[in-house]
Amino acid sequence: MIRATISELKNGLSAYLRQVRSGESVLVLDRKTPVARLVPAGYGAEAREQRALYETEMVRELADEAKLARLERAGIVVRHRAAEPLDIVRSWQSPEDARLVEAVIEERNEEYQQGYR
């Protein structure tokens, strides 16, 4: 087991994490008093259960996404797609003689008068 003070751990965290990934454990000391232990994530039954649960959830999400994609290709479902920002701007109606800069200035003035800025 590797021993490291809090300041040593803070200053060399990447190196200590590489050692933990390789299977080592690190005992963290605060003025020669052990306060924590860094161990590989697969250490212990609880960690293995958490990893299995996470992997199961990820597989489930991928399966759901694949199922939705198949239904969409078959034309059974249509997913909502957000409009592109430029499409939204292009859909705005403006007076024939107004220019974009003038419209923006007018909108800002209205917001200022209403106290939004």
* Domain boundaries of the chain, sorted by first residue: 2-38, 85-114
**Is the four-CA dihedral 36, 42, 43, 49 of positive or negative sign?**
positive
Predicted confidence at residue 100, as pLDDT, reads 76
Kindly state the average pLDDT of the residues 34-42: 85
Order of strands across the sheet with 26-30? 2-5, 26-30, 33-38
What mean pLDDT value characterizes the chain?
83
**CA dihedral in degrees (93, 95, 96, 100; nearest 10)?**
-80
C-alpha to C-alpha distance for 6 and 15, rounded to whole angstroms: 14
Residue 29 binned pLDDT confidence (cut-offs 50, 70, 90): very high
Predicted confidence at residue 77, as pLDDT, reads 86
pTM of the model: 0.39
Considering the domain 2-38 in this protein, what is its CATH number?
3.40.1620
Whether the pLDDT of residue 39 is over 90: the answer is no
Q: What is the DSSP secondary structure assignment for residue 82, as one 8-state letter?
A: P
Predicted confidence at residue 95, as pLDDT, reads 65
